Structure 1
Amino acid sequence: MNYRHAFHAGNFADLHKHTILLAILSALQGESEALAVIDTHAGAGAYDLSGEMARRSGEAQAGIFQLKAAADAPAVFGPLLQAVLKINSGQPGDLYPGSPLLIARALRKGDRYAGCELRPDDAILLSKTLAPYANAKALEADGFSTAAVQAGRGGRAFVLIDPPFERPDDYARIAETSRAVLKRASDAVLAIWLPLKDLETFDAFLRAMETVTGDLLVAELRLRPLTDPMKMNGSAMVMIGAPASVDTAAVEAGDWLASRLGEPGGRSRVWRA
């Protein structure tokens, strides 16, 4: 795959995804003695926003740097902002933590994390990122086929699915993986990230997921109307088994991102299906 998350690290979609991810993780740690967190497409784990790929896209400048400079950012962004501050040793630096580092740093003694990454170069970087954390490991593996196996190895399963959407079957594989995880661990929680380009693709995916479970929480963020399918016009988090407290966090994060980073016609919506 050619996709590299370093081009997009720290963009508006990361702010949406990571804020909701940390809210889910915190809520689950209040409910469960031990968690087994599985990240199907982990990437390198951390990113330098001053690097060539990030500078070429410029997406972080319209994302995390806008959030850090905002005086009116709601408290829901606090855990993410603290994590960004920590990776930069308390200074206003250019490093940004991906989901593997955000999760690894939040693990309790009884929790575990497995991050899957197929790109050999990113898998090596992921291993280095996770090296200081004894209960976090990197797997050079297909996360879709690995998720259900990992979910059945003890602890309540929490699965993050965040593929690059370069393959036409990614949407179908998400539904298949979700079904397999729930068959192996019925109390599993899943958080699925999606790009929003056109309404037809999004609606079709939601219809497919409704055949998997009747317990969906959808957090939809549109920065602009879904009129140009060649652009990423927004992002969404589709969650299964999300604790009730996550609804409020998703509303607060989405509303601020839509109003501060979006264009006229942008909006945020959170609902349970």
Structure 2
Amino acid sequence: MNYRHAFHAGNFADLVKHAALLRWLGRLTAGPGSLSVIDTHAGRGLYDLAGAEAKKSGEAEAGIGRLMAAADVPGTFAPLTEAVRRLNGGGSVRRYPGSPWLIAQALRPGDRYLACELRSEEHAVLREALKARPGVRTACADGYAAAVAETPASGRVLVLIDPPFERADDYARIVETLAGVRRRNRDTAALVWLPLKDLETFDAFLRDLEDAVDAPLLVAETRMRPLADPLKMNGCALVLLNPPAGLAAELEAICGWAAGLGEGGAARVYAPGA
């Protein structure tokens, strides 16, 4: 599969991922000391919702379009909706911010961000979008390997892992990467996004992660429909490593609202094995 996020930018999964990311970043940037953020699959950083890809899929209209127009949005989405309004100058939503743009906007002086993107054409756009940002680097590199190599041995670190799942070994490489960054820095936190297609695949991933990493985990599932067809993305999940206290309740609000965009959707937030 040749994945292009331009078809999917601003969909329900982006809403969940980016709302959660911004809530966590808000806590981290309110704390003392510098922060290092590593993004393993950064993409291009900004997306044109008026482009042919977004128009063809219609996913942005069903996602960020409905979020921005809704009157019943939980306050947990406020950082994301504010970021989207700022990017679009308060007008109609023609552009959507990817994680690189959102992270770069949230950084403070002294914080550091490494955005990795393996595709050279996507990296070129990403580099241009983030140029001249203080504390920001981009790399046309394997993000899994870069995360382990670049995680500092001390200090606060957040690793974002959001692969396109084009490869059969993505699940295994996520587990290896999280084990590797934890060996370098026991205080490393991570936010992992995964598709929900069938429970067998997802539960196997969680078991492998629990075996490889001795750290608190939190799972937030957003199901847009019953998991009846493993060939479809029936929802998405976030897996958080070393999550902060209080974030579970915010994730419940985020996932619960997003699940309402689906047909018979449901959400749950839980600690594996609890």
Q: TM-score range by the shorter chain?
A: over 0.9
Paired amino acid for 2:256 = D
1 CA distance for matches of 2:217 and 2:4?
29
Aligned-partner SS, 1:226: coil
Cα deviations by residue, 1:63-90 (Å, 9 ceiling, x for unpaired): 0001011011011110000110111122
How far apart in 1 are the matches of 2:172 and 2:32? 30
1:174 paired with 2:190, answer no
SS at match of 1:202: helix
CA distance in 1, matches of 2:78, 2:197: 29
Distance 1:213 1:154, change over 3 A: closer
Alpha carbons of 1:56 and 1:153: their partners in 2 closer, same or farther (altered >3 Å)? Answer: farther
Deviation digits for residues 177-227 of structure 1 (CA, Å, limit 9, x no counterpart)? 000000001100000000000110011011111112341010011010101
Tell me if 1:89 matches 2:78.
no
Secondary structure of the structure 2 residue equivalent to 1:96: strand
How far did residue 258 of structure 1 move?
1.3
For residue 151 of structure 1, report the CA deviation from its aligned partner: 1.0
Partner of 1:254: 255
Partner of 2:219: 218
Moved over 4 A (4+): none
Aligned-partner Cα distance in 1 for 2:116–2:127: 10
Does structure 1 retain, via aligned residues, the 8 Å contact 2:222–2:236?
A: yes
Q: What is the aligned residue count?
A: 271
Residue number in structure 1 paired with 2:209: 209
1:157 Cα offset (Å): 1.2
Verify: 1:271 aligned to 2:263, yes or no.
no
Q: 2:238 is matched by which residue type in structure 1?
A: M
Is the counterpart of residue 200 in structure 1 residue 237 in structure 2?
A: no
Give 3-state SS (helix, strand or coil) of 1:33's partner: coil
The letter for the 2-side match of 1:253 is: I
Aligned AA (1:267): A
Offset from partner CA, 1:6-59 (integer Å, 9 cap, x none): 111000000000000111111122334111100000000010011011111111
Between the aligned partners of 1:37 and 1:61, the Cα distance in structure 2 is 30
Unaligned runs of 5+ in 2: none
* 1:61-210 alignment, distance < 5 Å: 61-152=61-152, 155-210=155-210
Say if 1:36 and 1:154, in contact at 8 Å, map to a contact too. Answer: no
How well do the aligned residues superpose, as a CA RMSD in angstroms?
Answer: 1.2
**TM-score normalised to structure 2 length:** 0.96
Question: Paired residue for 1:56?
Answer: 56
How far the C-alpha of 1:153 sits from its partner, in A, is 6.3
Classify 1:153/1:215 alpha carbon distance in 2 versus 1 (closer, same or farther; 3 Å): closer
Kept in 2, the 8 Å contact 1:221–1:268? The answer is: yes
Give the deviation of 1:246 after TM superposition: 1.4
Contact 2:219 2:239 in 1 (8 A): yes
Tell me how far apart the structure 1 counterparts of residues 109 and 29 of structure 2 sit (CA, whole Å): 11
Which amino acid in 2 is paired with 1:216? L
Comparing 28-37 with 163-172, greater Cα deviation is found at 28-37
5+ unaligned residues in a row in structure 1: which ranges?
A: none
TM-score (ref. length: structure 1):
0.97
Whether the 8 Å contact between 2:155 and 2:187 is mirrored in structure 1 is no
AA aligned to 1:250 is: L
> What is aligned with 2:246?
245
- Looking at structure 1, the residues matched to 246 and 140 of structure 2 have their Cα atoms a distance apart, in angstroms, of 34
Q: How many percent identity over aligned positions?
A: 54
Report if aligned partners of 1:7, 1:53 keep a CA contact under 8 Å in 2.
Answer: yes
| Cα distance change on mapping 1:64 and 1:2 into 2, 3 Å | same
Q: How far apart, CA to CA, are the structure 1 residues paired with 2:129 and 2:145?
A: 23
Shift of 1:93: 2.8
Question: Which residue is equivalent to 2:36?
Answer: 36
